[in-house]
Amino acid sequence: MNTFKSWLISSYFFIAVGLTSPIMYVIALMIRIITYPFDRRLRLLHLFTCFWASMYTYIMPPWKIKVEGREKFRKDVAYMVVCNHQSLLDILVNFRLYTHFKFVSKIEIFRIPFIGWNMVLNRYIKLKRGDKQSIEQMMKVAAERLEEGSSVLFYPEGTRSETGQFRAFKPGAFMLAKEKKVPILPMVVSGTREALPKKSFDYHGVHKIWLRVLDEIPYERFADMNVEDVAEMVRNIMLEAYEKLEKERRAAKI
């Protein structure tokens, strides 16, 4: 990839983000003020946020994004949603689902002007890595979001994979699924690591990016399992689906 071309396209992307974020935040703030009295779960605000986040993928034609299975989100069902994690792009791609959820993100992202402030407006869930008190607070808030009827999105690997290989799954998402007796909805994403690798903000050319929602795992299926076994079961399901998705994506024509 030509270095100047890469720099030019990366600059275009981040300038677009910088110019549009203040405007989009003002709109989000207005939506929050107007709708909060009758939309306590902030569904409309989240739907706008889905558009805002997705807009940054629409303006990058080299990212060929395909989303499959969004219809598997049943209306008015609170899910524990889990997805593999390869890149900062993952959450932008997840927002292309245009379905309601609250997601868990490291606390530093909430401090980013406009984008992070909008995450606060949406009552997304903060986490300070390695901080026991923060982890306990995150679990408490996530449980509250499930109780109010909102799905919660976790990246159970805890951090992005630099190689694409699945890390061991942390237990938090599965503890909550058992505690609140909610179904688990796994998803797998492929191609984001190549489009925007960890520790990189450069443009890396044309890439196919696929997100696939898998079949839900009803609570009854794991009600009598311990948390570690639930985590391993879900990881195996996702790993098999990911390997299949990788083959299909790589074989597909752009």
Distances (CA, A) of 32 to 74, 76, 141, 170, 190: 25, 21, 20, 33, 33
pLDDT at residue number 1: 55
In the prediction, which pLDDT does 28 show?
Answer: 98
Q: Provide CATH code, domain 3-251.
A: 3.40.1130
Task: From first to last of the 254 residues of the chain, give the pLDDT tens digit.
Answer: 577 778 788 888 999 999 999 999 999 999 999 999 999 999 999 999 999 999 999 999 889 999 999 999 999 899 999 999 998 899 999 999 999 999 999 999 999 999 999 999 999 999 998 889 999 999 999 999 999 999 999 999 987 666 778 889 999 999 999 999 999 999 999 999 988 877 676 777 889 999 999 999 999 999 999 999 999 999 999 999 999 999 999 998 76
Can you tell me which residue has the tokens 């009600």? 223
Whole-number pLDDT of residue 254: 61
Domain ranges of the chain: 3-251
Indicate the pTM of the whole model. Answer: 0.93
Q: Which residues pair with 210 in a beta bridge?
A: 66, 190
Reduce the DSSP state of residue 104 to 3 states and report it: strand
| The predicted structure's pLDDT at residue 227 | 97
pLDDT of 57 reads 94
Residue 130 pLDDT: 82
**Exposure of 217 by Cβ count < 10 A (0-12 exposed, 13-18 middle, 19+ buried)?**
buried
